[in-house]
Structure 1
Amino acid sequence: MAAVSHGPAALLGVTLTDGSRLLAGKRVAALTGAEEKAVGLGGAAPFPLVERLVAEGATQVPGPGFAEHTVRDGRLVTGQNPASAAAVARAVVRMLAAGWTEIPTAAADGGTLGAYVARPDGAGPFPGVVVAPELFGVNGHVEDVTRRVAELGCVAIAPDFHHRTEPRAALGYDTAGRERGFALLNALTRDGVTEDVAAALTHLSRREGTTPRTGMVGFSVGGHLAVIAAARLGLDATAAFYPGWLTGTEFPIGRPEPTLGLVGDIRGRLLVLVGEDDHVVPAADRERIAAALAAAGPRHELVVPAGIPHGYFCDERDSYRPEAAADAWRRVARLLDGLRM
């Protein structure tokens, strides 16, 4: 849900038809009293706004760095002045232009799989980019990332890789979500995910305003899937964030031989981003990945930010590291920019 107002105060007390508060469970950009003073707005609000928002079940996105969240957040967006209102309006237009669709699979029974699709403004033509999530499925964060890829000038699509076992699975970043995610991961096969990425690319190729150039951005398990697709489907550019389990066979996507053995088939550019303190991709695995890429010879860059944990790009996890995430996104933007050349 997106809401536009002259400020968060206008949303206080608003209830939905079921009697629940509009703000419950939403993220709201609002300044505390101390933050107002820091930006020269001390005394502007005649009541404790943040406290009242929180009392209605909202979570504060704090200042002074909340502007990015107000523009990108798909659940609640507010603007407090004409300049931010214009940015908010553009964000809402982008969100309305994105959404879920059903696309054909390669199955003989004519089956379909769900996919979240976002398109840039303008007529194009644009390259197509697949977004592959962590084991939590295409949840709100992944929808947000898909829209961000579209903002880079690509038609972006996030397929529901869990469609065979739990369609539209969108798990939380808690113990229950992680446990269910690993159960779903065990149901993914290398051939199955290759078929799904191929179906997504075929869908994009049949849309007006797209080019033959293709890429993929994946996170954790999705980074692993991106490496598989780069090797098997001839992608032009691939970004793999902390791709887990490339060196082993503990999950079906890593069989019959470890996926790392496929990197010699990659013909496009490959960007691998993994933190120094990543427990899923430890130092020994990173050394094997670096050696395999050097030996196989694909054009690649391996970026290892110091002191950074697994999952550092996701702003809904405790492992989120804003500076490292921003640097990673700049690198992804440069990589995908090459698809338009």
Structure 2
Amino acid sequence: MNTVAHPEIDSLLPAAHMDRRTFVTTVAAAGFALAVQPVQAQTVITTDAEGLEAGDATIAVAGGSLPLYFARPAASAANGAVPVVLVVQEIFGVHEHIRDVCRRLAKAGYLAIAPELYFRVGDPSKYESIPALVENVVSRIPDAQVMADLDACAGWAPEKGGDPDRLAITGFCWGGRIVWLYAAHNPRLKTGVAWYGRLDGSPTNMTPRHPLDVAARLHAPVLGLYGGQDQGIPLKDVEAMRAALAKAGNHSEIVVYPDAPHAFHADYRPSYRPAEAEDGWRRLLQWLPAHLG
């Protein structure tokens, strides 16, 4: 596994029972890149719900009721069933930025669904530090459970006018890794867009495989968007993923923004880079219809 030296780690260490090395290992195993910051400010982009149906709902899943946020064109604006995009949260959960992403997708004609994938173990907004959030919540979420919850969302989509035959997924940071895994999991998926999702790591009981392990088994092409200055995802991992995809004959693509850090799309954090974020969003809006029909 690649652990990452980062100047902020020492200030983020949790309780004394977890030392620096253990913390780095735990975070990396959870698929979380270290070069992030928690919510610090309001979002730069605010998308209204005019012309949309948007709100909260729940789905019955193993272990309880899965909360989610959804947005779609209003029934009067939609012409039949609309394509579906599953939106996978960052480490910080389904906060306002993720909800806004759903509304942006709905404005573009999609049913966007963002499930609260941590709901069984805790509310990420209640934690004031990344170490506490990782130790108490993120590290307790098994990949298999995430795959099942996303399947449940895909199954629920037709109830909100979603077309099950035009299914896509996008995700950010923690969710970016999930995009690659879900593309290898669900044969009905048509495409995905992974924003700076971790690509490699040591296997654990919770995270037995990483994107590099499943590159040859993708059911759908994925657009990967990465930052060249990402301190948590080495460029050698990005190049290894490119090579693995090419060897498999997969039609996925990876774009690297040379000057961008991790989380360059997150417009509520200092890592936000407007030019790269706008270009990535433009590419997403071209990629999705090209593969969904």
Query: Secondary structure of 2:151's partner?
Result: helix
1:93 and 2:45 equivalent? no
Spell out, residue by residue over 1:109-159, the C-alpha distance to the aligned partner (whole angstroms, 9 max, x if none). 6x3200101012423320111000111000111111111111121100001
2:134 to 157, 173, 182: 182
Partner residue of 2:32?
A: none
1:242 to 183, 193, 196: 196
C-alpha root-mean-square deviation of aligned residues, in Å? 2.3
Query: Secondary structure of 2:140's partner?
Result: coil
Gaps of at least 5 residues in structure 2 are 1-40
How many aligned residue pairs are there? 248
Structure 1 segment 319-334 matched on structure 2, within 5 A:
319-334=271-286
Spell out, residue by residue over 1:150-195, the C-alpha distance to the aligned partner (whole angstroms, 9 max, x if none). 112110000111011015x3478xxx34224322220111111100
Spell out, residue by residue over 1:281-340, the C-alpha distance to the aligned partner (whole angstroms, 9 max, x if none). 112211221121112222111100111100000110000000000000001001122355
Spell out, residue by residue over 1:63-105, the C-alpha distance to the aligned partner (whole angstroms, 9 max, x if none). xxx8xx4x52xxxxxxxxxxxxxxxxxx34257x211111121
TM-score by length of 1: 0.67
Query: Secondary structure of 2:50's partner?
Result: helix
Greater relative contact order (Cα < 8 A, sep 6+): 2
Partner residue of 1:196?
A: 149
Query: Secondary structure of 1:163's partner?
Result: coil
Spell out, residue by residue over 1:220-261, the C-alpha distance to the aligned partner (whole angstroms, 9 max, x if none). 1101111111110121110000012x2112665531x43321
Give distance in 2, aligned partners of 1:226 and 1:60.
26
Partner residue of 1:337?
A: 289
1:132 and 2:85 equivalent? no
Q: Which amino acid in structure 2 is aligned with residue 258 of structure 1?
A: H
Q: Which amino acid in structure 1 is aligned with residue 190 of structure 2?
A: D
2:222 to 246, 250, 270: 270
**Between the two proteins, what is the percent identity of the paired residues?**
32
1:159 to 115, 130, 137: 115
More strand by percentage: 2
Closer, same or farther in 2 for the Cα pair 1:251/1:330, shift >3 Å?
farther
Report how far residue 212 of structure 1 moved. Answer: 1.7
Give distance in 1, aligned partners of 2:184 and 2:192.
10
Moved over 6 A (4+): none
1:141 and 2:93 equivalent? no
2:238 to 286, 297, 302: 286
Rg (Cα) greater in structure: 1
